[in-house]
Amino acid sequence: MKVLAGDVGGTNTRLALCEVNDGKVLRLVHTIEPSASHGSLREIIQAFASAHGADDVRAVCIGLPGPVRGRRAQLTNLPWVVDADQLERDLGLPSITLLNDLEANAHGLSTLADADFSVLREGSPERGGNAGLVSAGTGLGEAGMHFMRGKLYPFPTEGGHADFAPSNELEWNLLQYLQRTHEHVSWERVVSGPGLATVYEFLLERAGASAPQWWQEAQSNKEPAESIAISADDGDEHANAAVDLFLGLYGAEAGNFALKIFATGGIYLGGGIAPKLAKRMKGSAFLDRFDGKGRMRSLVEQIPIKVVLNESAALQGAALFGARHAEP
C-alpha cells in the first residue's frame, strides 16, 4: 500500500511517499523542509504532492508536535492549526489521519534494525513490560507503549509540559532564573534544544561571565544547542558545564517517566539531541539521575535504555499507522 507520511517538528517537517507491506516500510521519496519557512502544513503537503505525485496514495498519516484531539491539532511550537477534514477537502487526498509525533515515533520503533539503536544500558527487561519514549529536540516529547496481547501499543502523552522539579541548589537557582520570564516552568523548558541554550545562559550569568563570540554567532545562525555541544567538546568551560547539567536533567525526567508508566520493558531516547550526545551520556550524570529514585532505585536501575539513532523513525511510524488505519 502506498502511503504519504509526515513527521512535523518545530524545526523541520519531513514528508515521504512510502510503500508499506506486512509491517515493513520502504521510503520511495523523502524530503525535509524548514517548518518555520512555511505558513501551514497544507502548503508543504501541496508542494510535495505536486512535485512527486500522489495519485495512487491510499492513505495519509501525519505525526504532529502537540495534542491531537479527534481530527484536529493546535501545534505547540508552531503557529499552526491542523484539521484533517479541511486538509482532505483542500488537497483531495484520501484517509488523512493525524497523531501525536511521539506516538508516531513509538510506532516506528518496530520498523528499525538493531543498528538503528545505541545501547546505553542493557538492563534486565521484563517480558510483557511497558516501554517509554522520551525525545528531546525542539521540544520534549514523551510517549508510552502499553503491553497487551503480546504487543506494545503506543499512546501519546504531554508529559514534557509537567512541572519542572529541581533536586538541588543549582537546579533551584535554574528554576528561579526561568521564573523571571515564564509563568509556568515545565521540563521542556530545560530538557530540549532551547532548554540547553537556557541552561548555558543561566550558567554564564551565574558565573558573571560575558558571552563569547561563538555564542553570539550561534544565536544569529539559530543553532545554539548544537554550538554548545561542539564548544563543550572543544573544552569550553561553561558549555561543558551546561551539557553536564542538561544530561543530568534529561536522566532525571526520563527516570520520572519510566516510573509513571512502569516502563520495565525499556526506555528509548529519541529526538535530535540524544544521538549527538549518546557517547557522552555513558560518562555523564544521566544514568545516576535516572536511577536516583529513592526506594524505587532497585526497580529503575534494571530498565534497559536505548538511544534511537534513525531520524526517520517517526516518519516510518506514521506510514505504518496510516496503512493500518486505511486497511478494511
**What's the rounded mean pLDDT across residues 204-222?**
90
DSSP H/E element including 7: strand 2-8
**What's the rounded mean pLDDT across residues 2-21?**
94
pLDDT value of position 323: 93
pLDDT value of position 55: 84
* Per-residue pLDDT at 327 exceeds 70: no
Going along the chain from its start, the domains and CATH numbers come out as 2-108+312-326 (3.30.420.40), 113-309 (3.40.367.20)
Return the half-sphere exposure (C-beta side, CA atoms, 13 A cut-off) of residue 299. Answer: 15
pLDDT value of position 74: 93
The cell numbers describing 144, all together, are: 508510552
Residues 112-150: b if buried by 16+ CB within 10 A, e if exposed: beeebbbebbebeebeebbbbbbbbbbbbbbbbbebeee
Angle between helices 213-220 and 224-233 (to 10 degrees): 150
Q: How confident is the model at residue 4 (pLDDT cuts 50, 70, 90)?
A: very high
Strand order of the β-sheet with 2-8 is 24-34, 12-21, 2-8, 59-64, 96-100
Q: How confident is the model at residue 150 (pLDDT cuts 50, 70, 90)?
A: confident
> What pLDDT digit, counting tens, does each position of 50-71 carry?
999 888 999 999 999 999 999 9
Distance (Å, rounded) from C-alpha 115 to C-alpha 100? 25
Which has the higher per-residue pLDDT, 54 or 185?
Answer: 185
Of 4, 34, 32, 8, the residue nearest 19 (C-alpha): 4
**What's the rounded mean pLDDT across residues 12-32?**
94
> What pLDDT digit, counting tens, does each position of 73-122 carry?
999 889 999 999 999 999 998 889 999 999 999 999 999 999 999 999 99
Angle between helices 224-233 and 193-207 (to 10 degrees): 60
48: three-class secondary structure by DSSP: helix
The pairing of strands 59-64 and 96-100 is parallel
pLDDT value of position 77: 84
pLDDT value of position 328: 59
Average pLDDT, the chain: 94
The pTM of this model reads: 0.94
- Asked if residues 58 and 326 have their Cβ atoms less than 8 Å apart, the reply is yes
Residue 129, C-beta contacts closer than 8 angstroms, at least 6 positions apart: 147, 262, 263, 264, 265, 266
pLDDT value of position 242: 98
Which has the higher per-residue pLDDT, 257 or 217?
Answer: 257
pLDDT value of position 87: 94
pLDDT value of position 134: 98
